[in-house]
Chain A
Amino acid sequence: MSLKDIIAPFSVWKRALEKPYTNRKPIETRPGADRYRGFHQNAIDQCIGCGTCEEICQNNAIDLVPLEGKTSSHGDSGLRPKIDYGRCCWCALCVDICPTGSLGMSNEYIWITTDPEDFRFIPGGETKPWDDRAEGYRRAEGYDLLEAERVEMPMLSFEESQKSFIEMVQGYSKEQAMEEADRCVACGICIATCPAHMDVPAYIEAIRNDDMGEGLKIVYNANPLPASCGRVCSHACEYVCAMKHKGEAISIRWLKRYIIDQIYLGDYKEILKSADESNGKKIAVIGSGPGGLSAAYYLRLLGYEITVFDANEKAGGMLRYGIPEYRLPYEQVEKDVEYIRQLGVTINQDLKIGVDRDFKTLYDEYDAIFFSTGLKDPYGLEIAGEDLPGVQSGLDILDEVTKGKTPDIGKSVVVVGGGNVAMDAARTSRRYGAEVTILYRRREVDMPADEEEIHESQGEGCKLVTQAIPLRVEKGDSTRLKLFFGMAEMVDQGEGQRPKPVLIEGSEEVIECDTVITAIGQEADYSFIPEEIGKNLVFNRGMVQINEFRQTGDSKIFAGGDIANRKRDAISAIADGHSAAKGIDIYLTNFKDK
């Protein structure tokens, strides 16, 4: 035994009175690093329930579930992600891809509970201690799984575009279309907002797969006028696109157009559904606008014999007579119409119901009637001097141009109105060399015209004067007319109401011009409906009342389009036509024979 062995036990005693070296109690938790990937956080109001997180999750750890207090609305599915932490591997792909940027991660990684079910919850929907923590994982700057910007559309410059009626938007090439299609996360949020509920993600996928036939089939399932819609649709879908939260919406409308542009009309027949054998029942369709043509198409597919009656020389309604060629070339309207005609739909042109043919005769001869006659009569300005030569409606100008006439507008034009008709009339006038001023009574943000129409009209040199109320028109000295207008202030009308423009006293101004074009709205003309039938129909503020099957008060008569639908755009009319076709089919197969 060595000396050290004998002394060692005593040397320990020298520490007897020191503070013991042990762990601190209570044990302090160590916070995770700033960018640690702990339990998720979700800004529940920012999230739109698109399900992209669920889609990308490699472990199937995310479910989309309804959350109390959240309802489905346009642009929000009402669902929210619920995460199963038994499966989550904290890879954070869900955070990286989230188009709205609502999903993030806290740096909380220590959480103890005795119930394993607690590890399945809706982040943000069920309160957790880490909800407000600023630390944690967020998508890194400059790194993105999704492309925020859309593929630029080749367009004519404003300088070029205002010289002619050549189509401004030139269309995507295959590479551009595929690149743009690649940006779609296929959430399907847009489907609910599209009035025709087109299966947008499905046809975008067809573009990704370069399968145009499949794309055409999907498009025609809900929309038999896609060449036109691919150009002038009001694209409600794009306003709710999940990608819009991140940057720019997918250019859904132009991708649809791309599909149609790739296929010759002659090849449609081989790709699309053929019509059922004739079932012997006859339907009359009045008006060959989008509503009428859509009803005719779907009814023809079901085997009905369809006759369309239209007062104009050519079919297409407002698509042809209301939209200038630089936005929608006539041959594109013709492509849509021609296919419907090829299916065996008879279209009678230049035939006005109520004049050339009696409504009552149609009512007796046909098994059902669908009418979608649109809003043809422009509203007047209701001001003095309105009947002076040189005051014209926007619709008349557009109609004249469609018929190949040169409108007599002179050198300077004032357009009154802020809708698409106003923009179209203004831009058309520009193309005939006039100086154009647009007067609108509210603010630019209130304008009902599409954003791009407003932008393009200004780009082409139309001057926009907002908050301007026309007062009277007088004969001009050097020009044909003088338009007096006053400035308006916007008066708040309380929550949920549009602010009202109120004239500021003494703010009168005058503008000299050759033509005043009025484009402040249109109304329907129902004079072709005889009284004995008309008394069964219900009208509400100028619109025909219809049920969900687009059936009017007279069970044999169905209606749709602008006369029955406040949305007043082509795609809503098309949706009406489709619903009416189903309604007529149900009516004739289930009720008529009994």
Chain B
Amino acid sequence: MTEFNELSRQFQVSDLVEQRADLHFITASKEHAVAVVSALKERYGYTHLVFFTVVDHLEKNEFHLTYMLHNYEKHHDMGVVVKIARENVQMESIHHLWPAAATYQQEMREMYGVEFPGSPGLYENFALEGWEDIPPMRRDFDTKEYSDKTYYPRPGRESHDPREYMKENLYPSEAETW
């Protein structure tokens, strides 16, 4: 792929994956990612930021950020993946390239705790109001524990263990002697 070959001469990019004929992924280093995205926009016609998202790879202790770009002339999508360590996770903002990116970045900060210094409105509430726990989309966030703490059991709620319930109903006297 021409773009990849040219980019790889200039930046740290690797792992070209052809998902479909019209969809490729490349991996860029954290330092070069914004420059790569910028080059794809300015030089190669990937002018549309389709989405910008993050996946939490807890087992690898990494976040994978993906910039998905679209080239209208070639009808081609290009995903730029950036792998960054999970601790104190920070990434350069791209709001100067696409103002709409600020909204993605605002959401990612709130849901995953990824910081984008300088991004407009970064600390405004996106969907969560008054959230104090660790960001809820992080995989080490314990949904059940949070539910138990926040939405304490409703009065009158009770559950049965199938094995105990069947014991009471099907072999009660044997249960006593066992």
Report A's interface with B, CB cutoff 8 A.
49-51, 54, 58-66, 71-74, 77-79, 84, 86-87, 89, 120, 187-189, 191-192, 197, 201, 548-549, 578-579, 582-583, 586
CB–CB B161/A51 < 8 A: yes
B19 CB-CB contact with A under 8 Å: no
What chain B residues lie within 8 Å of A86 (beta carbons)?
151, 154
B159 touches A63 (CB 8 A): yes
Q: How far is the CA of A197 from the CA of B148 in the complex (A)?
A: 33
B171 & A192 in contact (Cβ 8 Å cutoff): yes
* Contact across chains for A65 and B163 when beta carbons are under 8 A apart: no
Cα distance, A583 to B144, chains bound together (Å): 45
Q: Are B163 and A188 in contact (CB under 8 A)?
A: yes
Whether B154 pairs with A192 at a CB distance below 8 angstroms is: no
Q: Are B169 and A583 in contact, CB atoms less than 8 angstroms apart?
A: no
CA A189 – CA B161 in complex, angstroms? 10
Task: Report which of A77, A87, A548, A549 forms a contact with B166, defined as CB distance below 8 A.
Answer: A77
28 A-B pairs in the complex with CB atoms less than 8 angstroms apart: A50-B162, A58-B143, A59-B144, A59-B147, A60-B148, A60-B153, A62-B159, A65-B158, A65-B159, A78-B169, A79-B165, A84-B154, A86-B151, A87-B147, A87-B151, A89-B143, A120-B157, A188-B161, A188-B162, A188-B163, A191-B167, A192-B166, A197-B167, A197-B174, A201-B163, A548-B174, A578-B178, A582-B177
Q: Which of B15-62 contact A (CB under 8 A)?
A: none
Establish whether residues B165 and A78, one from each chain, have CB atoms under 8 Å apart when the complex forms.
yes
B10 at the interface (CB under 8 A from A): no
| Bound: A549/B162 CA distance, A | 25
Residue contact B144 to A79, C-beta cutoff 8 Å: no
Least CB distance, A239 to chain B, in whole angstroms? 15
Cα distance A188–B166 when bound, in Å?
Answer: 9
The answer to whether B167 and A192 have CB atoms under 8 Å apart is yes
Q: A50-B162, A64-B160, A74-B170 provided; 13 other pairs, C-beta below 8 A?
A: A59-B147, A60-B153, A62-B159, A66-B165, A77-B165, A86-B154, A87-B147, A188-B163, A189-B162, A189-B163, A191-B163, A191-B167, A192-B171
Interface of B is mostly: helix
Q: Identify the interface centre among A62, A77, A84, A578: most chain B CB within 10 Å of its CB.
A: A77
The CA-CA distance from A49 to B161 in the complex, in Å, is 10
Bound form: Cα–Cα A65–B161 in Å: 9
Identify which of A51, A71, A548 contacts B169 (C-beta below 8 A).
A71
**A221, closest chain B residue (CB):** B178
The CA of A582 and the CA of B174, in the complex, are separated in Å by 10
Q: Establish whether residues A72 and B166, one from each chain, have CB atoms under 8 Å apart when the complex forms.
A: yes
Tally of A-B Cβ pairs under 8 angstroms? 90
Q: Which of these, B153, B159, B162, B178, contacts A197 with CB under 8 Å?
A: B178
Alpha-carbon separation in the docked complex, A543 to B160 (Å):
38
Within residues 109 to 168 of chain B, which ones have a CB less than 8 A from any CB in chain A? 143-144, 147-148, 151, 153-154, 157-163, 165-167
Smallest distance from the beta carbon of B33 to chain A beta carbons, Å? Answer: 31
Closest to A63 in B: B159
Q: Are B173 and A548 in contact (CB under 8 A)?
A: yes
Report whether A192 and B170 are in contact in the complex, using a CB–CB cutoff of 8 Å.
yes
Find out whether the CB atom of B157 lies under 8 angstroms from the CB atom of A84.
yes
Cβ contact within 8 Å between B169 and A72:
yes
Residue of B nearest to A54 (CB): B159
**Chain B residues within an 8 Å CB radius of A579:** 174, 177
> What residues of B have a CB within 8 angstroms of the CB of A77 in the complex?
160, 162, 165-166
A191 in contact with B147 (CB, 8 Å): no
A187 to nearest B CB, angstroms? 6
Which A residues are in CB contact (< 8 Å) with B169?
71-72, 78
What are the residues of chain A within 8 A of B162 when measuring CB–CB? 49-51, 64, 77, 79, 187-189
For B144, give its contact among A60, A65, A84, A188 (CB under 8 Å). Answer: A60
A78-B144 in contact given A54-B159, A64-B160, A192-B171 (Cβ < 8 Å): no
Pairwise interchain contact A65-B173, C-beta atoms closer than 8 A: no
CB distance from B35 to the nearest CB of A (A): 38
Contacts of B173 in A (CB 8 A): 548
The 7 closest A-B pairs by CB, nearest first: A188-B163, A77-B162, A72-B169, A63-B159, A192-B166, A582-B177, A58-B143
CB of B128 to closest CB in A, whole Å:
14
Output the least CB separation between A242 and chain B (Å): 9
**Which residue of chain B has its CB nearest to the CB of A75?**
B166
Chain B residues within 8 Å of A201, by CB: 163
Most buried by B among A49, A87, A578: A87
